[in-house]
């Protein structure tokens, strides 16, 4: 496997998407490679740019040395805007917020290293024009009912576009003694995927392109769980909470990275018995370095409260 690609695998995964797991990391003997600078940044429309710089040198190392002596110059549509400010170990932040349809380029200057270049243009957010909640869309293997969200959005058949869906729900916790209650935000667990566009992607994640969508509008149905259920009349039903649907219009680089990250994670956290142990490569779009510089714009619905179950 190409050593330069290997270096980028672990640095990106460890910095952006380190997730908890009940499985153990597969142990093996890995070779060491020349240290390589890595840049990691996910741009989000209406938020400031945040960049993390580190050095990766060994595949099984989760302790990545931060790079604190870099100069990062930010250009907007080809014009110099500002130098990012140091904001923590290996972290740099801009004072301006990202806007869709503008091109953001970072020139990263590290002593004794080649100048790193990365660039990205976020698409405009795509509106959801209709949304419906289905309290009982099916039952799982244990007989617990699960709900679904059906949403309709516009589609431009003349362009290849890429999307990610995130459904957030809100749990209101009661006050405890003299403290006020608070609202906890969580993401739903996806149940059985039945939508043909998502099935075409081949992975159980809510990331897709409009490759199969032939009409100017499209309706997608997502089955989900909230992780809680209650008994009624001898059967169990998923507990419903107020929720928001985010339709993220993502860049091609983001789409490529997230798909490869899912495969990478399945390999790196495999148990060696029921899962394979070969990690897949992670996508990188950095010139003279490694990592990811990508992003998305968001269209979010208002908070929707499902109607109570009919007893």
Q: Is the pLDDT of residue 141 over 70?
A: yes
Q: Look at 7-11, 18-22, 29-33, 278-282 and tell me which has the smallest mean pLDDT.
A: 18-22
Domain 3-122+282-296 bears CATH identifier 2.60.40: yes
The burial class, CB within 10 Å (0-12 / 13-18 / 19+), for 172 is exposed
Give per-residue pLDDT as tens, 43-57. Answer: 999 999 999 999 875
Q: How confident is the model at residue 231 (pLDDT cuts 50, 70, 90)?
A: confident
Q: Is the pLDDT of residue 77 over 70?
A: yes
What is the average pLDDT value for the chain, to the nearest integer?
Answer: 85
User: Where exactly are the structural domains of the chain?
Assistant: 3-122+282-296, 128-248
| Helix boundaries (H) for the chain | 3-16, 196-201, 252-268
Q: How confident is the model at residue 87 (pLDDT cuts 50, 70, 90)?
A: very high
Give per-residue pLDDT as tens, 192-207. Answer: 999 999 999 999 999 9
Q: How many whole angstroms separate alpha carbon 206 and alpha carbon 198? A: 7
Identify the pLDDT of residue 17: 38
Tokens coding 227: 């992780």
Q: What's this model's pTM, rounded to 2 decimal places?
A: 0.83
Asked whether the beta carbons of 248 and 294 are under 8 A apart, the reply is no
Q: What is the mean pLDDT of residues 98-103?
A: 98
Percentages (nearest 5) of helix, strand, coil residues in the chain: 10, 45, 40
Could you give the percent of the chain with pLDDT greater than 90?
69
Q: How confident is the model at residue 34 (pLDDT cuts 50, 70, 90)?
A: low
Task: Give the length of the chain.
Answer: 311
Higher pLDDT, 220 or 64: 220
């Amino acid at each position: 496997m190409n050593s330069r690609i290997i270096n980028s695998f672990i640095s990106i995964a460890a910095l952006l998407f380190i997730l908890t797991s009940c499985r153990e990391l597969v142990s093996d003997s890995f070779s060491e490679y020349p240290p390589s600078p890595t840049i990691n940044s996910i741009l989000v429309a209406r938020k400031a740019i945040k960049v993390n710089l580190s050095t990766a040198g060994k595949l099984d190392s989760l302790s990545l040395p931060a790079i604190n002596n870099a100069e990062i110059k930010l250009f907007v549509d080809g014009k110099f805007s500002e130098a990012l400010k140091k904001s923590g170990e290996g972290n740099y932040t801009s004072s301006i917020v990202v806007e869709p349809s503008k091109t953001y380029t970072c020139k990263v200057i590290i002593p004794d290293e080649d100048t790193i270049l990365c660039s990205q243009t976020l698409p405009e957010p795509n509106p959801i024009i209709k949304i419906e909640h289905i309290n009982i869309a099916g039952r799982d293997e244990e007989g617990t009912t699960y709900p679904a969200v059906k949403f309709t959005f516009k589609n431009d058949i003349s362009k290849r576009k890429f999307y990610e869906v995130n459904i957030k729900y809100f749990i209101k916790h009661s006050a405890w003694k003299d403290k006020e209650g608070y609202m906890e935000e969580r993401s739903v667990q996806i149940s059985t995927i039945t939508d043909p566009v998502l099935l075409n992607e081949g992975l159980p994640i809510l990331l897709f392109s409009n490759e199969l969508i032939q009409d100017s509008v499209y309706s997608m149905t997502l089955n989900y769980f909230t992780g809680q259920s209650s008994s009624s009349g001898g059967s169990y039903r998923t507990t419903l909470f107020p929720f928001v649907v985010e339709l993220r219009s993502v860049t091609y680089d983001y789409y490529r990275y997230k798909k490869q990250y899912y495969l990478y994670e399945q390999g790196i956290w495999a148990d060696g018995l029921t899962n394979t142990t070969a990690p897949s490569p992670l996508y990188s779009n950095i010139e003279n370095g490694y990592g990811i510089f990508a992003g998305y714009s968001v269209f979010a619905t208002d908070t929707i409260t499902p109607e109570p179950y009919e007893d």
